[in-house]
A and B are shown apart, each in its own frame.
Chain A
Amino acid sequence: MAQTMTIHLKVWRQSGPDAKGKLVDYTLENLNEDMSFLEALDVLNEELIKKGEDPVEFDNDCREGICGSCGLMVGGIAHGPMKATAVCQLHMRHYKDGDTIVVEPFRATAFPIIKDLVVDRSAFDRIIAAGGYVSVDTGGAPDANSLPIPKEHVDEAFDFATCIGCGACVASCPNASASLFTGAKVAHLAHLPQGRIERKERVVRMVDQMKAEGFGDCSNHGECEAVCPKQISIAAIAKMRREYLRALFG
């Protein structure tokens, strides 16, 4: 039978975009160690609702690590301490009975807080809209191996395409830069023939949009790669820079 545990939480509470927020202490008793972190927050919310208090708002959807909706700073790390894990896949068994965990929203000027732990990540949507698309008609799914693409390009493109747009890269970056997200989109499409048509315009427009959204500049700390639930390499950022230089001089 699963062990039960007591966990102390310090959760960022903020009633609205312009309200002043603060960390509020909660203690959860008899938590099941097989619960996910978000399930522990569900337990907290049930208790709050029973007491007539406002539940803690947090984003989530699939709860299986593939949609990119969830995203919290857990103990100072985006998505918590486990590698290659979105916070919905973080389980309480990784904590000890009596642990205190600080839970904060992803913080960046370009990700304004809506309420509590929910931030507006639509800046990412606008970066994609600026160039992260393919305008040619690529038809239905082609037969496997019918497109002559070198395997290493396919592998790289696929690795970069695994980005779920959760924003952990921005949240963990000391500079709040969106370079890994933007780089992953640029690098993914640059590796494939379908993406070649807009290759030059894409990188310039997406980088311009990234700047316009107010993200910081990259300082190559590489923290983004360490917290990325899909383990996207900062090689994507180097590729984005090569693509930008190619757009300028190529």
Chain B
Amino acid sequence: MAPRIKHDKPGLWSALASPIGKKVLTGITGFAWAGFVILHMAGNLSYFGAGEAYNEYAHKLLSTGPLLYAVEIVLLICLVIHAILGVNIYLGKRRARKQGYDAYRSAGRPGLQSPSSRTMLLTGVVLLVFLVIHLKSFKFGPGIAEGYSLLVDGEPIRDLKRLVTEKFQHPIYAFGYTGVMVLLGFHLRHGVWSALQSLGAMNRRLTPLIYGIAALLAVGIAAGFVVLPLYIYFFAP
């Protein structure tokens, strides 16, 4: 028998590529995006604020300059890692059971398998496609140069509110966005608690509590997002 090596601490790369490292990375990068969507949702809700609250909020965000770029770069890196690992874990699962069952069903509780947990890759891909369209429509959509501007304190700023209002008067935008946000809720329903489990932050007592809170959070975030398109479509002048 080969002599045992006394201390074989893995290198950073092999640790990150290990079954544990992959989950930890997926969790951390997922959390970065969960934090972002919560802030984004709060920003959306400023649409209902008094006066030009929405446009001023958007303008303030843009005027942070380098800070905004830094956050965007971090989010982009997180997205790439999260997506690559998601696909990698899916492909690994296909290899790990090449022949599936003729009959398979969940044994139910205390298992946490759900439509949400079983569709993470699917909802993730939809969210990714949505993100591209969404950025094209709004972030890189028409701005001051195209006439979407208004004066605040004598300074021209982008009239994002007008753009958003116009877009969501289209049924495809309003209901497409609503549908994708429901899928975001599904992704977060499993994602939020799962990230904590992946980081090792769970124990027997915490899991049921956090699993419940994650459901509330997922519903809350999805609801916070869908009120804007639905309000505009049905009630905006």
Contacts and interface: CB of A to CB of B under 8 A. Distances in A.
B96 interface: yes
B15 A218 contact: no
Interface residues of B, number: 50
Question: Size range of the interface on A?
Answer: 35 or more
A104 B107 contact: no
A238 B200 contact: yes
A245 B200 contact: yes
A88 interface: no
A214 interface: yes
Contact of A226 (B6, B93, B99, B107): B107
B7 interface: yes
Given A175-B93, A220-B190, A242 B110 contact: no
A239 interface: yes
Given A73-B103, A235-B203, A226 B92 contact: no
B197 interface: yes
Contacts of B118: 174, 221
A172 B110 CA distance: 13
Contacts of A226: 106-111, 113
Interface string A12-51: 1000000000010000000000000000000000000000
A76 B198 contact: no
Interface in B90-131: 92-93, 95-113, 117-118, 120
A211 B18 CA distance: 7
A132 to B, nearest CB: 14
Interface string B195-225: 0011111111001000000000000000000
Contact of A201 (B7, B104, B120, B201): B7
A204 interface: yes
Majority secondary structure of chain A interface residues (helix, strand, loop or mixed): mixed
Contacts of A221: 111-113, 117-118
Interface stretch (A63-71, A105-113, A139-147): A105-113
A220 B117 CA distance: 8
Given A102-B103, A204-B9, A211-B19, A107 B113 contact: no
B111 A223 contact: yes
Interface string B160-189: 000000000000000000000000000000
A101 B207 CA distance: 33
A72 to B, nearest CB: 12
Interface of A: 10, 12, 23, 73, 75-78, 81, 83, 102, 104, 107-110, 172, 174-177, 179, 200-201, 204-205, 207-208, 210-211, 214-227, 233-235, 237-242, 244-245, 247-248
Given A104-B101, A220-B112, 19 more contacts: A10-B103, A73-B101, A73-B103, A77-B106, A110-B96, A207-B20, A217-B93, A220-B194, A222-B110, A224-B111, A226-B106, A226-B110, A226-B111, A233-B204, A233-B207, A238-B202, A239-B200, A241-B198, A244-B21
13 contacts: A77-B105, A104-B103, A109-B97, A172-B107, A175-B96, A216-B96, A217-B19, A221-B113, A223-B111, A233-B204, A234-B207, A242-B200, A248-B9
